[in-house]
Amino acid sequence: MTRTERPTQSKLGPSSGTTRHLLPQGEGEKQVRSPLSRGGRHATQGAGSTEVFNWPIRVYWEDTDAGGVVYHGAYVRFFERARTEYLRSLGAEQSVLLRDRGIVFAIVGMDLRFDAAARLDDQLEASCELVERRGVSLKFIQVLRRVDDNVRIARASVRAACLDAASFKPRAIPEDVFVRRNNFPAGVSG
């Protein structure tokens, strides 16, 4: 495993500036320079040449139980934030899709595994990798790691379905929804 510098925000506020931290990278990964690298977001290229989107998360009191350990339901929110920002980076802002296209993405399946505990004030990084695109659904693999020691905290396999906002019935993902469609990982197509 190699170590590389990646820009991350020291705080999650807009005026916090950017600092540099050393983060271990998995074997077969390399840093990819892209528009996703602004503001603490990163894209890395995995060995399978799929894009991995990373989003910084800080653990707050509201995320923990009385002992300062992250409550299990908070991990679902952390993964949701990373998926939402990943889709936004691809040009699929969910509020715009609802307003202009009458579609929503709903989670229809999630397999969530816990590997270690996150605690109050931990700086985490949630990754999101699109691994499959079908006519009406997307499948993501997500991993949550603690930044300081690169310990894997949790992992999830998530399926999101495209639904008609009025009827909540499955609807084909329109081909032009993702403005930056060329950013879809190699081998992931409709």
pLDDT tens digits in sequence order for the chain, 190 residues long: 343 334 333 333 332 332 222 233 343 333 333 322 333 344 444 434 468 999 999 999 999 999 999 999 999 999 999 999 999 998 889 999 999 999 999 999 999 999 999 999 999 999 999 999 999 999 999 999 999 999 999 999 999 999 999 999 999 998 887 655 444 554 555 5
pTM listed for this prediction: 0.70
Task: For residue range 167-184, list pLDDT tens digits in order.
Answer: 999 999 988 876 554 445
Domain of 147 in residue numbering reads as 23-178
pLDDT value for 119: 98
Spatial separation of the C-alpha atoms in residues 49 and 136, rounded to whole Å: 24
- The answer to whether position 74 is within a domain reads yes
Triad 37, 50, 162: Cα angle to 5° = 90
- The answer to whether position 187 is within a domain reads no
- The answer to whether position 70 is within a domain reads yes
- At position 160, the amino acid (one-letter code) is A
Please confirm, yes or no, whether 65 is among the known catalytic residues. Answer: yes
pLDDT value for 179: 52
DSSP state for residue 111 in the 8-state scheme: E
- The answer to whether position 11 is within a domain reads no
- The answer to whether position 4 is within a domain reads no
- The answer to whether position 63 is within a domain reads yes
CATH number for the domain spanning 93: value is 3.10.129.10
SS3 content of the chain, % helix, strand, coil (to 5): 20, 45, 35
- The answer to whether position 51 is within a domain reads yes
Given 63, 65, 115, 121, the catalytic residue: 65
Spatial separation of the C-alpha atoms in residues 4 and 47, rounded to whole Å: 16
List Cα–Cα distances, 87 to 5, 67, 92, 93, 165, in angstroms: 25, 34, 5, 7, 18
List Cα–Cα distances, 178 to 134, 160, 174, in angstroms: 14, 15, 8
Triad 122, 93, 137: Cα angle to 5° = 90
- The answer to whether position 13 is within a domain reads no
163 within 8 A of 143, measured Cβ to Cβ? no
Q: How many domains does the chain have?
A: 1
Task: For residue range 18-46, list pLDDT tens digits in order.
Answer: 222 223 334 333 333 332 233 334 444 44
pLDDT value for 56: 98
Q: State the sign of the Cα–Cα–Cα–Cα dihedral 6, 56, 81, 139.
A: positive
